[in-house]
Amino acid sequence: MIRVWASFLLKQTSQRHVTYQLCASFTRLAEVGKLVAPRPSGKYDTGQLFLHRVFGYRGVILFPWQARVYDRDTNKVEDTPASAELEAPALNPAGKDVKSNTHTYYQALIDSRDCPFVRAQTESVTFLGSHENSRSLYAIPGLDYVAHDDIMPYSTTERTPLFHELFDKFLEYEPDREPPFAARETLRAWQEKNHPWLELSDVHRETTESVRVTVIPFYMGCRESQNSAVHWWRYCIRLENLGQQTVQLRERNWRIFSLSGTLETVRGRGVVGQEPVLSRHQPAFQYSSHVSLQAPSGHMWGTFRMTRQDGYSFDCRIPPFSLESKHDDGDGSASA
């Protein structure tokens, strides 16, 4: 099988065949199927194959989520400096002062052949260990949350078009339906069992100097000990360069507020050990991280320090987002 470079060049023939162009050292093209008309509204069905509009990987839809999207770019009155917003407490800092709109997102599997080339962490879904006293985090590789607008649907005649260890466990081939892959009972049972930790409910977006930051928080559960209860969240962050100039993320600066009243600052170089470059050819980067509070709720906000090729630096806002548990007990301070 041909391995596919994620920053592929999508090409279409007169028959609307979808092909990948490999990295510069190769000249071959690998056909994956035929494009089908995207749906401007409504939902895609379980089993729908797609190409990710931004990251370029091959994927398949498992099931949809309805999310509240808080977009701070909508009806923005004035452009407050990001550094000032970081220092000064804002009214309703978790973003609920911003009117939300409902959008469809999908839980999806990523083709394992594409994972090495995707500019996104492909272990975006994590769970706490099953033992109450365990602090272990278990990652499920090759899972992602995909916005409806990022779905480029296609069809194929292959019975196993996607390489992922869960593909055959979750989906079965039914040639008489479209798409020809239907949910198995194992997928429905897995979704029902893990619904609280998989659920996507809120999405927060904000753009600074043509760099858009999207944050999706997830509650992971609580670990209780004799003296305290620690609540855990994961958050997925996507940075996308909407402009023409190349920028690089140099530093992160977080504020973490706990319901107990504590406010902590976390600063450091880059994110997840990287200082990603966002260019016209590779405009996006996505990663996940975790935070814990000794309180049932709180919120986070902050900035990314970005630098352009001409040396100009600016602070890119990370939109405030809530950390909300499914419990009302507990108290304590924040940590990260």
pLDDT in tens, 84-135: 455 544 444 555 578 899 999 999 999 999 988 888 877 667 777 555 555 5
pLDDT tens-digit series, residues 226-262: 778 889 999 999 999 999 999 999 999 999 999 988 9
Q: What is the pLDDT of residue 221?
A: 85
Q: Dihedrals φ, ψ of 265, to 5°?
A: -115, 135
pLDDT tens-digit series, residues 264-310: 999 999 999 999 999 999 999 999 999 999 899 999 999 999 999 99
Q: Could you tell me which residues come within 8 angstroms of residue 53 by beta carbon, excluding any fewer than 6 positions away? A: 149, 150, 151, 152
Q: Which residue has the higher pLDDT, 12 or 100?
A: 100
Domain 11-335, CATH 2.60.40.1470 — does that match?
A: yes
Q: What is the pLDDT of residue 8?
A: 41
DSSP state of 240: E
Secondary structure, 3-state, 126-151: EEECCCCCCCCEEEECCEEEEEHHHE
Average model confidence (pLDDT) across the chain: 83
Q: Which residue has the higher pLDDT, 152 or 196?
A: 152
Least confident range from 52-66, 88-102, 162-176, 186-200: namely 88-102
* Residue extents of the structural domains in the chain: 11-335
Q: What is the pLDDT of residue 18?
A: 57
- Read off the pLDDT band of 6 (50, 70, 90): very low
Q: What is the pLDDT of residue 1?
A: 30
SS3 294: coil
**In whole angstroms, what is the distance from residue 200 CA to residue 204 CA?**
12
**In whole angstroms, what is the distance from residue 196 CA to residue 27 CA?**
46
The residue type of 207 is: T
Q: What is the pLDDT of residue 17?
A: 52
**Around Cβ 78, how many Cβ atoms within 10 Å?**
4
Least confident range from 2-11, 26-35, 180-189, 281-290: namely 2-11
CA-to-CA dists, residue 73 to 36, 98, 203, 205, 211, angstroms = 31, 10, 13, 7, 11
Q: How do the residues of the chain divide into helix, strand and coil, expressed in percent and rounded to 5? A: 10, 50, 45
